[in-house]
Structure 1
Amino acid sequence: MTTTIETAFAADWRAWHDAHEAARADEHGFLAVTSIRWLTWTPERFDDAPGVWSTSEDGPVVALADGESLEIDGAVVTGTYRFGPLAERSSITVVWRTDDETTVVEVARRGGSDIVRPRHPSSPIRTGYRGTPAYAPDERFVVDARFTPFDEPREVTVGSVVDGLQHVYAAPGTLSFDLDGPRTLLAFNGHGDGLHVLFTDRTSGVTTYAANRSLDIDAPDAEGRTRIDFNRATNLPCAYTAHATCPLPPAENRLDVAVEAGEQLPA
């Protein structure tokens, strides 16, 4: 009976991680990014995207030359296109088609600046990707947790892998659990009603990526009960490419325990 449970647990984890790897290596996934361009008020042309790009208080603008076009929401755009002001951490994707390949150009706002990130399927980072190793799934790293909400969600500012850049997240409360002793993590708002944490631990910089790991957690029930599965801790894009603006964990989330679960250093 024990073997059946462990096999089912491992198989479920494997299916999840295979899907995560497939999304990461998608032809327009993050491994396809070829550059990150920080837009200014001075118009500038880039070698991996069409048009001349700039930004202002009114948001990003692209001026396309004769013969150049983009597709935005399925419509072909020529000439000058104004995206309008972008909300922090929002992204718009536009499509650039050439005879060689179809490129997705991400137009986004990160850390108070507007950026452009072209995603080419032929990116050497993507074509050379050989997968990410991970610890074997271990039920010891699935722990019951208690969510304690703050009276009001708090704005928490964290650093970034980009020097001088900061990210601001809404933190609704903390998660308390036991993993070789009592532990606490500051939780951010996640997908839907779920929670999200960024953390480091004693494996960081040894067998796992030094800057951070990321983990989604199911929404707590009415009594604040939820479960943390560290086997599903993943690397953020900055573990693979310099064209990322990933956040760093808050100081509270540096766990003084070796979390030997989840994704390891990229191959």
Structure 2
Amino acid sequence: MTTFPDHVAERDRWARSARGPLALMNAQRVDLEQPVWPVPGRWAPAPGGLTVTAAVADGVVVDGVPVDGTVLVASDQAVVPSTVAFSDGLAGTVADGTLRVWDPASEAVTRFDHIARFAEQDHWVTSGRFEPVGDGLEARADVVDAAGVPLLVAGIVATTVADVAVRLVAVRSAAFRGAPRLQLIVQDATSALPEDDPSSTYSMGRFLYLDDPGAAGEVVLDWNRAVLPPCAFSYQFGCPIPPEENRVPVAITAGERHPVDASGAVLH
């Protein structure tokens, strides 16, 4: 695991990166041939991604070749995803039938200074016990992602938060640097505070990632590493709703709070 200062630096770099959440200008689902703001071309669904129809003068470049006609833009799930560039410095990516348009020089990227955080505190590193769901994963109607699609529940993490016993729903997360992880989507008492309160955090909640033990066993919960969801940085992202079990009735004064500019004003 990286040191806490390295974790902080990585998160700030991610936020302002060319494919970070502050650079996302539009995320538009393409179910039929249509334009997509603010880029040129006509976009349409296709097996393996989307097609774009444009003339050379439109300045659309796919995989290094200017588009003059109709070409396939392979999705991020393809063996070799396409790269898309536009003449004004914007870029595009395709995933799950959605065209995402990125501006590495967006106003939000320019304004961003850092992610406001609570100071690291040893007492917010706690332990819990992971209890898997049966022999596999379970879909629950009340545990969904930002698009309303059910997430696969891996199990329950039984732990204590500020002397309150809780049983938190854990979902399967994508592997990180080759290691399997669990994800907790959590709200706590700091989420309800006004943004200018020094103990406030993003209203929709935060994420905490845990090493997946692969079976019933002890897990470490380092709340200092609670992170903001992408929707805390841009309205182009939807927010997943924490399940009822993960709405903790105490203040977790650890982890990330808000993205802010140089004056400390909340960006979003």
Match of 1:94 among 83, 101, 106: 83
Task: Tell me by how many angstroms 1:120 deviates.
Answer: 1.0
Q: From the superposition, tell whether residues 147 and 130 of structure 1 become closer, same or farther in structure 2 (CA, over 3 Å).
A: same
Partner of 2:266: none
Match of 2:52 among 40, 59, 62: 62
Q: From the superposition, tell whether residues 182 and 205 of structure 1 become closer, same or farther in structure 2 (CA, over 3 Å).
A: same
Task: Tell me by how many angstroms 1:26 deviates.
Answer: 0.9
Which runs of structure 1 show a deviation greater than 4 angstroms over 4 or more consecutive aligned residues? 56-59, 74-78, 83-87
Give the distance between the partners of 2:158 and 2:48, measured in 1 at CA. 43
Give the distance between the partners of 1:227 and 1:93, measured in 2 at CA. 39
Give the distance between the partners of 1:21 and 1:174, measured in 2 at CA. 30
Match of 2:21 among 22, 25, 30: 30
Partner of 2:115: 132
Q: Give the TM-score normalised by the residue count of structure 2.
A: 0.80
Match of 2:154 among 155, 162, 172: 172
* Structure 1: gaps (5+ residues): 1-10
Task: Specify the SS of the correspondent of 2:9.
Answer: helix
Letter in 2 for 1:216: Y
Task: Specify the SS of the correspondent of 1:133.
Answer: strand
Q: Could you give the per-residue CA deviations for residues 54-100 of structure 1, whole angstroms, max 9, x where no partner exists?
A: 3378853321223443334x66655323457997xxxx5632043x5
Q: From the superposition, tell whether residues 76 and 176 of structure 1 become closer, same or farther in structure 2 (CA, over 3 Å).
A: farther
Give the distance between the partners of 1:211 and 1:147, measured in 2 at CA. 24
* Structure 2: gaps (5+ residues): 194-199, 261-268
Partner of 1:141: 124
Task: Tell me by how many angstroms 1:169 deviates.
Answer: 1.2
Correspondences of 1:101-112 after superposition (within 5 Å) = 101=89, 103-109=90-96
Task: Tell me by how many angstroms 1:177 deviates.
Answer: 1.0
Give the distance between the partners of 1:64 and 1:18, measured in 2 at CA. 40
Partner of 1:6: none
Task: Tell me by how many angstroms 1:204 deviates.
Answer: 0.7
Give the distance between the partners of 1:168 and 1:160, measured in 2 at CA. 6
Give the distance between the partners of 1:94 and 1:84, measured in 2 at CA. 8
Partner of 1:200: 187
Partner of 2:205: 212
| CA contact 1:93–1:105 (8 Å) conserved in 2 | no
| CA contact 1:195–1:216 (8 Å) conserved in 2 | yes
Correspondences of 1:1-267 after superposition (within 5 Å) = 12-41=3-32, 43-55=33-45, 60-67=50-57, 68-72=59-63, 78-83=68-73, 94-98=83-87, 100-101=88-89, 103-109=90-96, 114-151=97-134, 152-157=136-141, 158=143, 165-179=147-161, 180-192=163-175, 193-206=180-193, 207-220=200-213, 224-267=217-260
Greater mean alpha carbon deviation, residues 148-157 or residues 217-226: 217-226
| CA contact 1:38–1:116 (8 Å) conserved in 2 | yes
| CA contact 1:57–1:85 (8 Å) conserved in 2 | no
Give the distance between the partners of 2:49 and 2:208, measured in 1 at CA. 32
Normalized per residue, the structure richer in strand is 2
Give the distance between the partners of 1:93 and 1:29, measured in 2 at CA. 18
Count residues in correspondence: 243
Task: Tell me by how many angstroms 1:234 deviates.
Answer: 0.8
Greater mean alpha carbon deviation, residues 78-87 or residues 178-187: 78-87
Greater mean alpha carbon deviation, residues 233-242 or residues 43-52: 43-52
RMSD between superposed Cα atoms in Å = 2.7
Identity of aligned residues (%): 26
Give the distance between the partners of 1:93 and 1:17, measured in 2 at CA. 31
